[in-house]
Amino acid sequence: MSSDLELLASGNEADVYALDECRVLRRHRWMTDVSGEAELMAYVGSLGYPVPEVYAARGGDLEMERLHGPTMAVAMAEGRVPIGESATVLADLLRRLHDLPPLPGGTGRILHLDLHPENVMLTGRGPVVIDWVNARDGHPDLDTGLSALILAMVATDGEHVWSAPAGELLDAFLAVAPGDPFRLLDDAVRVRMRQLSLDDDGSLAPAVARMLGES
């Protein structure tokens, strides 16, 4: 079926297709179960947090609301949104998420663990957070530290088209970020290594140094 649909985006693990003007299909490339992700999105959405509405979850397929608007990353790169404003929005999205009641039976606050400008869509109803694959519960400082680490990785990647604005965004974000983005930085590095399937933290060292003001 997906070969007959319009491809909207491709990521490391899944592709997103348009079903119509109101719905999209995110399809994983290998066998997986998205039901937990769908349930978490429905839970935070029911509490007023800005996520796409989920219509159906079947195996590796997630059918959800189609969002119209640029990502925060694109809007910043094109100069449509000031970097300082983006930092405030990013920090507020993290704060609002961490302020939600824990999941039933959860042992900590809800964490996104991949909240950065490419996973924030700027829509007519405001910023909406996408890509909840990595979400789980835990300590909020881990989430904040990981967001800062991801920004620092882009800022220290000289070949990335958004390196310069990412560095400015990182500095602005650290000034307004909720909690302590440095307290669980070692844990954030380990999480990012698992997300990227890295064997050692050498490639993340420049980003850590940038966060700590050592470069």
Mean pLDDT for the chain? 93
Cα(64)–Cα(83) distance, integer angstroms? 29
Closest by CA position to 116, among listed 173, 200, 31: 173
Task: Calculate what percentage of the chain has a pLDDT beyond 70.
Answer: 98
DSSP, collapsed to helix, strand or coil, labels residue 212 as coil
pLDDT at 155 over 70: yes
Q: What is the DSSP string of 156-200?
A: T-TTSTTHHHHHHHHHHHHHH-SS-TTTTHHHHHHHHHHHHT-SS
DSSP, collapsed to helix, strand or coil, labels residue 115 as coil
Number of other CB atoms surrounding residue 144 within 10 Å? 29
pLDDT tens-digit map of 45-60: 999 999 999 999 999 9
Number of other CB atoms surrounding residue 191 within 10 Å? 22
DSSP, collapsed to helix, strand or coil, labels residue 67 as coil
pLDDT tens-digit map of 98-143: 999 999 888 899 999 999 999 999 999 999 999 999 999 999 999 9
Do residues 150 and 192 touch, judged by C-beta distance below 8 A? yes
pTM: predicted TM-score of the whole model, two decimal places: 0.94
